[in-house]
Structure 1
Amino acid sequence: MNLQQLRYVVATAEHRTMTDAARSLYIAQPALSRAIRDLERELGMTLFARSGRGVVVTAQGRRVVKLAKEALDAVREIEALANHSRSAEKELRIASTPGLEPGLAGRLLHAYSEKNPAVRVHVMRCDGRDGVVSAVRDQRADLGLTDLPVPTDLISHPLERQEVVLISPPGLDLPDTVPVARLNGMRLILPAKGSARRREFDQMFIKHGVRPVAACETDDRGTWLAQVRAGVGSLLWYRGVAEQAVRAGLVVRPLNPPIRRVIAIVHARRRLPVAVQDFLALAEKGIAA
């Protein structure tokens, strides 16, 4: 038994359906169901009775849920002590996705460092939103910089809406502003099937009634621009990486209608060190604009 399993139990009890609980935890529903079954088998008791499309907490389950909440509260208190210790050392650790680090993160950190020169700032580059969420949850980072949505056990502070652009190899016969309808049948480099990011892309395509061709499916973001440069396909990514793409000899085009995502600072539900609070206050005053 581990803390992650306790979080799963509490979320399932609070949401009363595996689907809603999995969504709040930002994991796949089958993975949550499997984790709950494994825990029930390990404990030798039934925590949830399946009822139609939802679940009902059993008598034993109610006791376990109560203890799980107490255990998670105790962990948060211990984390607060650690945060207080780090605060005394004037340290700030921020996890960021690769696409946001050079732009938005850079602007925020420059403004923060000017006002707080005594604070040591460490930026951790994570592999996408899931990596940022994991770093914040595991206490490897005080704050995370990523796009939304994030699991409901984290608190988010929206900063700005960032535009999604089309990054293509040179020579493609496309207008300067690409109608979203032109994505239909276009060869695109996409996240791997089954990943949270891929599900978001697929939902976006359904919303706009387009069906691109998956020229490459990978979560290795470090290879995406190289794949475009090799002519494998085009890429949908944030304008924040446009400068990097142009330097690589690629063509960046906006979409019509524009597609934008909300970028936010996220953190766990706990008391934050002073250095972290100062960073949040600075960001919320609009210095990132």
Structure 2
Amino acid sequence: MNLQQLRYVVATAEHRTMTDAARSLYIAQPALSRAIRDLERELGMTLFARSGRGVVVTAQGRRVVKLAKEALDAVHEIEALATHTHSGTSELRVASPPSLEPALAGRLLPAYVSEHPGVRVQIVRCDGRDGVVNAVREQRADLGLTDLPVPADLVSHPLERQEIVLISPPGLDLPGSVAMSRLNGMRIVLPPQGSARRREFEQLFATHGVRPVVVAETDERGGWPVTVRTASASLLGYRTMADQALRAGLVVRSLDPPLRRIIALVHVRKRIPTMAQDFLVVAESGSAGSPV
């Protein structure tokens, strides 16, 4: 038995289907089913029973799920204690993709540090939503800033809606507000194939019946302005990326109809450190005027 198997058991119990649990864990469904079967054989008990297209937790399974949650919580507490003891100082770790880092560093962090000057804040840079989710799950970050949705094993605190804009190289014959239909056939830069954000964009294109031409992929690292220029292609990104785009000589346009995503702070489903709780209070009070 290992911690990974315990995480699998908890996720399966929460989602009630192997497919949804596997999706939340970012693993293949057969791998999850195999891991659960191996654990059941090791324990000599049945944890889940088939029910239609899903599963139900057995009586023995409910006890195992409860103990698994307690064990995972204890591991998190030990790791948090070790991290803070090793650092010798109060440190709050916040995971963020580069696309949301301007909002984090420009607004949230200054507001928090002004009220809690004794806490050092470390930004854990991640590749998109998947990276933020994994950083929070693996206790490499106390909080994560990302767009929704996130898997059900994380708690989300919505802060604001952010507009998604079209960032393009200069010289394109486009209006100031670009209709979704104009994306059909447009050269475009997208997140890597297989990522959650890539799937969302593909679903968006399918909804509007458009087929852009994907000419490059980027994991949202700081080099995306160069990718847009060298590929002569447009990129869909958050409004907070506009300043960097304009400094790089790129053009920022709104979409018609406007496209927005809910931005939230997320954490594991358990008691979080006091520093993280304080950060949530500051962030939520600062976003009171931004409806979600």
Q: TM-score, normalised by structure 1?
A: 0.86
Deviates more, 1:157-166 or 1:11-20: 11-20
1:255 Cα deviation from its structure 2 partner = 0.6
Q: Which amino acid aligns with 2:181?
A: A
In structure 1, C-alpha distance between the alignment counterparts of 2:276 and 2:188, rounded to whole Å: 39
Deviations 1:138-157 (A, max 9, x none): 22211111111112221111
Matches within 5 A, 1:165-176: 165-176=165-176
In structure 2, C-alpha distance between the alignment counterparts of 1:26 and 1:160, rounded to whole Å: 26
Match of 2:17 in 1: 17
Secondary structure at the counterpart of residue 231 of structure 2: coil
Match of 1:146 in 2: 146
1:26 Cα deviation from its structure 2 partner = 5.0
Deviations 1:64-99 (A, max 9, x none): 445423422433454575588699943222111101
Distance 1:11 1:272, change over 3 A: closer
Q: Which amino acid aligns with 1:27?
A: Y
Match of 2:196 in 1: 196
Structure 2 residue 237 is matched with structure 1 residue 240: no
Partner of residue 31 from structure 2, selected from 5, 29, 34: 34
Secondary structure at the counterpart of residue 205 of structure 1: helix
Please say if residues 159 and 287 of structure 2, whose CA atoms lie closer than 8 Å, have aligned partners that are also in contact: no
Secondary structure at the counterpart of residue 261 of structure 2: strand
Distance 1:26 1:224, change over 3 A: farther
Structure 2 residue 8 is matched with structure 1 residue 8: yes
Distance 1:251 1:77, change over 3 A: closer
Q: Which amino acid aligns with 1:7?
A: R
Secondary structure at the counterpart of residue 254 of structure 1: strand
Please say if residues 216 and 232 of structure 1, whose CA atoms lie closer than 8 Å, have aligned partners that are also in contact: no
In structure 1, C-alpha distance between the alignment counterparts of 2:83 and 2:29, rounded to whole Å: 30
Unaligned runs of at least 5 residues, structure 2 = none
1:4 Cα deviation from its structure 2 partner = 2.8
Q: Percent identity?
A: 69
Distance 1:233 1:272, change over 3 A: same
Please say if residues 84 and 90 of structure 2, whose CA atoms lie closer than 8 Å, have aligned partners that are also in contact: no
Match of 1:214 in 2: 214
RMSD: 2.8
Deviates more, 1:171-180 or 1:217-226: 217-226
1:3 Cα deviation from its structure 2 partner = 2.0
Distance 1:275 1:62, change over 3 A: closer
1:287 Cα deviation from its structure 2 partner = 5.9
Matches within 5 A, 1:76-225: 76-78=76-78, 89-219=89-219, 221-225=221-225
Please say if residues 5 and 36 of structure 1, whose CA atoms lie closer than 8 Å, have aligned partners that are also in contact: no
In structure 2, C-alpha distance between the alignment counterparts of 1:143 and 1:220, rounded to whole Å: 20
Match of 1:269 in 2: 269
Distance 1:222 1:50, change over 3 A: farther
Count of aligned residue pairs for this structure pair: 286
Secondary structure at the counterpart of residue 172 of structure 1: coil
